[in-house]
Amino acid sequence: MVQEVSHPFSSYLRSAMIPHIWCSGCGNGIVLNCFIHALEELQRDLDKLVVVSGIGCIGRTAGYANADSFHTTHGRAIAFATGVKLANPELEVVVISGDGDLFAIGGNHFIHAARRNIGVKVICANNFNYGMTGGQQGPTTPLEASTTTTPYGNIEHPFNLVHLAAAAGATYVARWTTLHVRRLTQSIKRMLQKEGFCFVEVISPCPEIFGRRNKMRTGLEMMEWFRRASSVENFSDPSKAEITSKRILVGEFVNVEKVSYERLLHEKIGQINEKKIVW
Amino acid sequence: MTKKRALLAGAHFMNGDVACAEGAIAAGCRFFAGYPITPATEIAEHLSERMPEFGGIYIQMEDEIGSMAAVIGASYAGLKAMTATSGPGFSLMQENIGLAAMTETPCVIVDIMRGGPSTGQPTLPGQQDVMQAKWGSHGDYGIIALSPSSVQEMFNLTIEAFNLSETYRVPTLLMGDEIVGHMWEKVVIPPASEIETVNRKKPHVPPDKYAPFMPDDDLVPPMACFGEGYRFHATGLTHDEHGYPKTQSSEVQSKLVRRLCEKINKNEDRIVKVEEIMLEDADIAVISYGIVARSALSAVRKARETGIKAGLLRLITLWPFPEKRVKKLARKTKAIVVPEMNCGQMVREVERAAKETPVAFLSKLGEDPHRPKEILEVMRRSA
Amino acid sequence: MRIEIRFAGFGGQGIIKSGIIVAAAACIHGGKNAVQTQSYGPESRGGACKSEVVIAEEDIDFPKVVEPDVLIVMSQHAYNEYVDDVKSGGIIIMDPDMVPHEKNLKKVRVFRIPATKIADELGRRIVANIAMLGAFVAITNMVDEKSVIESIKANIPKGTEQLNLAAFEKGYEYGKTLLKS
């Protein structure tokens, strides 16, 4: 007789939504895995967790997490999450989305959420291109990379996401690759325990769509690039952390204390009502 | 000393934007996200002062796209939420108004219409967004839109908009204009205990049995909120009753989208409000809404003085379109006159419903609504 | 009886506020129906500006002014724009220092109130509109004096009551004097 064995983390997943839609060799599963590990290690109450995502492959993560979850329009995850966090600050609000969603169409929301220091935690799976729509150039596509819309090589300078996040005011900024699973998990844990706007970038392989046009046909080949190019350096200058084929600087870049928008707002509301003595 | 939330009551002289903001507070709205824009800014300004007094949230977002997204988030987190804007911002909001329709999010969007298209005439009125109200976001969906004609109605209909949005889980639009927004008039606010407010219905099953998009007989699904232990999923993708994406199923698409339309259309009789003035024996009827309805009323009164049997059907609800009322009216009148501050929008709906009855359209653009005598002139010619 | 009043000048003169004060006086403090509408340009200061008030015992349908019974005008531009709209037998109340070029008008009564000078003498040009209001009340008696004073108090920034009421008083006296002469 065959006994059904359930996965030790199955309670963190919405089983009705599995199997997932991701290609073999994709790094999104690793991101989800590390996120779940972090929740497990922190013994977080899933009833108080809201996972929000935008559009793109990684955007499906919201549906796979066994928590309250919302899959928004393209680019709007952070703006939606802002409404959730302000309406109920007791909720842990995590945005998991991609580089195109968060930094091209959603770039404005990202910088303003960071500036306000709203207590939303953002995990960005950066795969250097628009995977779901077939591999177009995006805001993180490296110079000279080949994509379906840069057949002659990319001539746009990519964003250095950790620099952008630090400059916009995030209280915690880190970058890891999907190779650094333990450090990534620790980083997500640290982020979940912090106040204010936090950002973790995960360099994630997309061999089927991005890799095969750029001489890395398998997940392993992409991971090999991450291994070769990455170096761990904590609290280095994020402005010097551009990603190149030769160098992927990873580590924590920012970890500062700053009072969150929602705390300031609710304190202000308290003060206003103290002062207001009506009749 | 006991602290008291000072909900206004009694007679006040205020402008329409402020009346709308006070109506929102009275309706139980506790979240506002917006972006400054003439002529709706006074709503945001007033709520930035009033919301905190009620423990509510006011936030100025980076744009109208973000404002609408934050409103949906706040509504799913359990608060009654709204935003307010004008034409250019209304265009930006359409993306997430579609998301609100698809995810059946109770919320209120106020559009204080100004002259368009594009940046147009920021300080002048218009009625040019009324078709956008219905068809602004892509795809098919039901929507409710109300049209206030006075400062009092800016207050009353804001409450009504919240009640309808909570009842039907649908984004509800308050389509004001620059004149009603900036006009000052008396508003009589009843005591809070006499203001009827409606809250969304909550799930009547435990979390393991809950399907967030499983409708009751009224076609409206009960709504759990984040953090209540239901652990549900919602998405802008076509989804089944559980909220799970079903992007390849014709059956699910057909069932969901038809229900989104029907939950509004099939409840037309319950939703629609109109005002009928001197229509009993009318040979000629003016069909009008918003600020223009006041010109029309003046014209109808003048027409009666000169012996023309005229009457006014004032549309308080624009969407769903009061089709049955217009059909009934068309059957017993010789002619219909439709004045609008646009190049002909709701008149298309009137013509469709009126069938054989001739419909005269009177367009006006710019600073003032139609002068009563301009409408009277068309009535004379049509009579 | 429907009364139509139009205030006109440029942005920054308190034109819109004047309309609100009169309408609120008639409505909240005077028990009639009143509605105030406005039109203004994109400039906060200096652009053309118009504020209209309709007062009636009965419900007010059309809220805009068609043919003003009274025009209160504080700039040459506004004078040129609106002077011909005034109803036959109507009243024009103007600040002659702001309107140097007058037309020869036949069917209306014209009252010249040096409101800006009055305000300057009180030390703050910003209350010229309130001096005009005082003259308007004295000349037309369309709105009760006490109601207007109450309405001024309710619609001005705290701490400016004395200044505003002084301006109102001066304008009122000036208006009364003109009526007698």
Residue spans of the domains in chain B: they are 10-194, 273-382
Q: With contacts defined as CB-CB under 8 Å, which chain B residues touch C22?
A: none
- Return the pLDDT at B1: 34
CATH architecture of the domain formed by C3-180: 3-Layer(aba) Sandwich (3.40)
Query: Which of C23, C33, C42 comes nearest B184 by C-beta?
Result: C23
Mean pLDDT across A225-239: 98
Q: What is the residue-wise DSSP string for C42-66?
A: S-SSSSEEEEEEEEESS---S-S-S
Provide the CATH number for the domain formed by B10-194 in this structure.
3.40.50.970
> What pLDDT band is residue A273 in, cutting at 50, 70 and 90?
confident
A63·B74 Cβ contact <8 A: no
Residue spans of the domains in chain A: they are 27-275
Q: Check contact A-C (3+ Cβ pairs < 8 Å).
A: no
**pLDDT greater than 60 at residue B224:** yes
Distance CA A164, CA A114 (A): 10
Q: Check contact C-B (3+ Cβ pairs < 8 Å).
A: yes
B187 touches chain C (CB under 8 A): no
Closest residue of chain B to A90, computed from CA coordinates: B227
Cα of A71 to nearest chain B Cα, Å: 4
**pLDDT greater than 80 at residue B133:** yes
C35·B11 Cβ contact <8 A: no
- Return the pLDDT at B5: 64
- Return the pLDDT at B7: 86
Does ipTM surpass 0.95 in this model?
yes
Residue-wise pLDDT for C139-159, tens only, equals 999 999 999 999 999 999 999
Q: What is the residue-wise DSSP string for chain A?
A: -PPP---TTGGGB-GGGPSP-PPTT-SHHHHHHHHHHHHHHHT--GGGEEEEE-SSTGGGHHHHBSSEEEE-STT-HHHHHHHHHHH-TTSEEEEEEEHHIIIIITHHHHHHHHHHT-SEEEEEEE-SSBTTTTSB--TTPPTT--BTTBTT---SPPP-HHHHHHHHT-SEEEEEETT-HHHHHHHHHHHHTSSS-EEEEEE---TTTTGGGTT--SHHHHHHHHHHHEEE-TT--GGG----SS-EEEEEEEE-----HHHHHHHHHHHHHHH----
Mean pLDDT across A194-217: 97
- Return the pLDDT at A7: 82
- Return the pLDDT at A1: 63
Residue-wise pLDDT for B230-278, tens only, equals 999 999 999 999 999 999 999 999 999 999 999 999 999 999 999 999 9
- pTM score of the predicted model: 0.96
CB-CB contact of B206 with B215 (8 Å): no
Are B10-194 and B273-382 the same fold in CATH? yes
Residue spans of the domains in chain C: they are 3-180
Residue-wise pLDDT for B332-362, tens only, equals 999 999 999 999 999 999 999 999 999 999 9
Q: How far is CA C32 from CA B255, B294, C4, in A?
A: 55, 18, 14
Closest residue of chain B to A13, computed from CA coordinates: B231
**pLDDT greater than 90 at residue A2:** no
Provide the CATH number for the domain formed by A27-275 in this structure.
3.40.50.970
CB-CB contact of B59 with A82 (8 Å): yes
- Return the pLDDT at B4: 47
B367 touches chain C (CB under 8 A): yes
Query: Which of C35, C39, C41 comes nearest B184 by C-beta?
Result: C35
A16 touches chain B (CB under 8 A): yes
C63 touches chain B (CB under 8 A): yes
Cα of A154 to nearest chain B Cα, Å: 29
- Return the pLDDT at A279: 41
Phi, psi of A32 (to 5 degrees): -60, -40
> What pLDDT band is residue C16 in, cutting at 50, 70 and 90?
very high
Helix (H) or strand (E) holding B160: helix B151-168
Residue-wise pLDDT for B142-169, tens only, equals 999 999 999 999 999 999 999 999 999 9
Residue of C62, C143, C152 to mutate, interface with B, max B Cβ within 10 Å: C62
Share of chain B above pLDDT 90, in %: 97
CB-CB contact of C165 with C51 (8 Å): no
Q: With contacts defined as CB-CB under 8 Å, which chain B residues touch A87?
A: 30-31, 57, 73-75, 77-79, 81
CB-CB contact of A179 with A188 (8 Å): no
User: What is the overall mean pLDDT for chain A?
Assistant: 95
Residue-wise pLDDT for C33-48, tens only, equals 999 999 887 777 778 8
Closest residue of chain A to B65, computed from CA coordinates: A76
**pLDDT greater than 60 at residue A204:** yes
- Assigned token pair, B354: 């009126």
Residue-wise pLDDT for B61-118, tens only, equals 999 999 999 999 999 999 999 999 999 999 999 999 999 999 999 999 999 999 999 9
- Return the pLDDT at C96: 97
Mean pLDDT across A6-34: 93
**pLDDT greater than 80 at residue A32:** yes
- Return the pLDDT at A275: 67
Distance CA A87, CA A100 (A): 27
C37·B183 Cβ contact <8 A: yes
> What pLDDT band is residue B194 in, cutting at 50, 70 and 90?
very high
* The domain defined by B273-382 carries CATH number 3.30.300.30: no
